[in-house]
Amino acid sequence: MTKVKKIIENISDKIETIDENLIVYSKPSQIKDVAKLLVMQGARFVHLTANDFISQKNFIELNYFFSLIDDRINIIVKIPLEKEELSISSISEVVPAVIWAERECNDLFGVNFEGHPDPRRLVLPDDWPQGVHPLRKDFFYSSRPPESKQPPPLKKPEEGKTVIPIGPFYPALEEPAYFRLIVEGEEIVDFDYRGFYVHRGIEKLAESALNYQQIPFLAERICGICGFVHSSAYCQAVEKAANIEIPLRAKFIRSLFLELERLHSHLLWVGLAAHIVGFDTLFMQAWRIREPVMYICEIITGNRKTYGINIVGGVTIDIHEQHLKEIEKIISQIEKEVRELREIIIDDEVIQLRFKNVGILKHEDAKKYCVSGPVARASGINIDMRVNFPYAAYPILNIRVPLNKSEDVWARTIVRLEEILVSISIIKQILESIPEGPTSVKVSKIEPWKEAISYIEAPRGQLFHYVMTGPDGRPYRWSVRAPSYQNYQALSVMLKGASIADAPLIIGSIDPCFSCTERYEVIDLKTKSLNFYTVEELKKCSKAK
């Protein structure tokens, strides 16, 4: 840590060390040099977000998050931007992975990034008026700005090349997203993406209407598959910021559900990948194997999704002795079936014809775009938050990180299949060594203006949550970066040169999770009730628009 500190000292105003975080204060003009130095030291870009302090101190503070995996340090580069001059040079030349994050900051905070290669809108809809930035504190969370008509900013194909639209609604995609493949014959030469159709402003809602204990229920609804990772990451961040130590049993319960979630998410992916290449038998069998995991979740929590477990300070439920026995029985059965499934996939030559040498993401590119999770591990990058920044019960557990170096869709499949088995072994360890004790602690007042970062190894990769505590009993800033957010940006590399037939498979191979990436929400939390619309009401709504 001292080495990095010494190097950065020259170009920063002030350096602080809080726990594992190294906070670097710098000037807007120096950001490129700081980024260059950090990248040279092997730092990995994680996220970029902003904090609006206009009403208090008349500036917006940019936070660049980097991490040094080997030293287990987070580096937060803080740069204040005066309200009158919200402009800074883009660091996308040094760190290509920043491209989406800079576009998002531009949309939501109105920060201009000079020299950005692709300054189009990312998050805001096309009919959103210019100059209205929803994450600024002077924007009221439920206000509706007037619509303004603008042409959608789409890439134009060069002459002689055609556009194949995949989306916004497409049979192989479960959620809306618009992939535009620019093709010559059957070969893809360029790629354009427009997503965020389901962006619902979860961060804004949390920052302006909910309190600390309500947000976990919002956070777990960010994703339809891996919701538990979001509530865990949020709770961990708040606990870190407020210095709350949760009981060991609660940590084990969190780890247990995180692994159960990875188990069913990976089996879901295996099924979907098989479905994309038309192998429906494998699809059905993978989902049949997955089903008992959902049963366990239902037995323990009352619903197939693991909703309502996490709160700040621990977990709301306890696991009974007979549940542990039930889990052990089901897990052994799943292990047997997954081993059979793996044999079938590895021995199938036609699957290999479709999966091998497809969607190659070279080791260097994977590093450049800071991808994470199985996509990174299939390109030979040894990164796993459970090992690099251990949380919950993972410091005590024994974890193996499966790696593969063949960089293609096949490698991603093998890595995910291995990870299922690793998860099973972790669950077995948890069942053996889960300690007795309370499951939560009482949380008293949380000090304002403390900040914390929390990582979770979600099924799709590194999940990042950042919380700055606020004075009104809720976070002042809560920022979420889902793993798919980074993995998406590497898609253009994987798709270039591929054939149209492989495009859905390549897109599927990063296991894209639109709702995570776009942080959406469908339940009206203000009235705390599910709203049911009749057909007539829906018609009225659609006509009113």
Partner 1 sequence: MNTEFIILSSVLNILIVLLLSPLFDGFTRKIRALIQSRVGPPLLQSYYDLLKLMGKEDLKSTINPLFRLSPYLSVVSIGMASLLIPITGLVPPLNFWGDIFLFIYIITVVGIAIIITASASENPFAYIGASRKMMLHLSVEPILAIALITGAINAGSFKIGDIVSWYYSNGPNVSMLLSTVCVFLSLQALIGKIPFDISEAEQEIAEGVLIELSGPKYACVKWANMSRQVLFCLVFTQIFIPWPLSENSLINVIIALIKVTAIIFISTLIESLNPRLRIDQALKYNLTLALFSLTSIFLALLGV
List the one residue out of 60, 204, 62, 197 whose CA is nearest residue 124. 197
**Does 351 contact partner 1 by CB under 8 A?**
yes
User: What is the rounded CA–CA span in Å between residue 224 and residue 304?
Assistant: 11
**Does 171 contact partner 1 by CB under 8 A?**
yes
Q: Considering beta carbons, is residue 88 or 505 the nearer one to partner 1?
A: 505
User: What is the rounded CA–CA span in Å between residue 524 and residue 200?
Assistant: 11
**Does 503 contact partner 1 by CB under 8 A?**
yes
Alpha carbons within 13 A on the beta-carbon side of 537: 4
List the one residue out of 475, 486, 532, 493 whose CA is nearest residue 218. 475
User: What is the rounded CA–CA span in Å between residue 183 and residue 241?
Assistant: 49
- Please tell me the total number of residues recorded for the chain in this structure: 545
Question: 39-53: buried (b, 16+ CB within 10 Å) or exposed (e) per residue?
Answer: beeebbbbbbbbbbb
**Does 541 contact partner 1 by CB under 8 A?**
no
Site string for partner 1, 146-165 (x = CB under 8 A): ----------------xxxx
In this chain, which stretch among 33-41, 351-359, 433-441, 516-524 interacts with partner 1, using CB under 8 A? 351-359
**Does 350 contact partner 1 by CB under 8 A?**
yes
| Residue corresponding to tokens 């009352």 | 302
**Does 167 contact partner 1 by CB under 8 A?**
no
Q: Considering beta carbons, is residue 210 or 494 the nearer one to partner 1?
A: 494
Return the residues of window 392-411 that contact partner 1 according to CB under 8 A.
Answer: none
Q: Considering beta carbons, is residue 47 or 180 the nearer one to partner 1?
A: 180
User: What is the rounded CA–CA span in Å between residue 250 and residue 183?
Assistant: 52
**Does 499 contact partner 1 by CB under 8 A?**
yes
Other Cβ atoms less than 10 A from the Cβ of 104: the count is 25
Minimum CB–partner distance for residue 508 and partner 1 (Å): 9
Site string for partner 1, 273-312 (x = CB under 8 A): -xxxxxxxxxxxx--x------------------------
Query: Mind spelling out the 3-state secondary structure of 426-494?
Result: HHHHHHHHCCCCCCECCCCCCCCCCEEEEEEEECCEEEEEEEEECCCCCEEEEEEECHHHHHHHCHHHH
Minimum CB–partner distance for residue 494 and partner 1 (Å): 16
In this chain, which stretch among 197-205, 350-358, 366-374, 422-430 interacts with partner 1, using CB under 8 A? 350-358
**Does 1 contact partner 1 by CB under 8 A?**
no
Q: Considering beta carbons, is residue 143 or 281 the nearer one to partner 1?
A: 281
**Does 170 contact partner 1 by CB under 8 A?**
yes
Q: Considering beta carbons, is residue 237 or 277 the nearer one to partner 1?
A: 277
Instruction: Compute the chain's Rg from CA coordinates.
Output: 23
Minimum CB–partner distance for residue 344 and partner 1 (Å): 10
Q: Considering beta carbons, is residue 288 or 320 the nearer one to partner 1?
A: 288
Return the residues of window 240-279 that contact partner 1 according to CB under 8 A.
Answer: 274-279
User: What is the rounded CA–CA span in Å between residue 287 and residue 271?
Assistant: 6
**Does 78 contact partner 1 by CB under 8 A?**
no
Give the binding site for partner 1 (CB under 8 A): 162-165, 170-172, 186, 274-285, 288, 348, 350-351, 353-354, 499-504
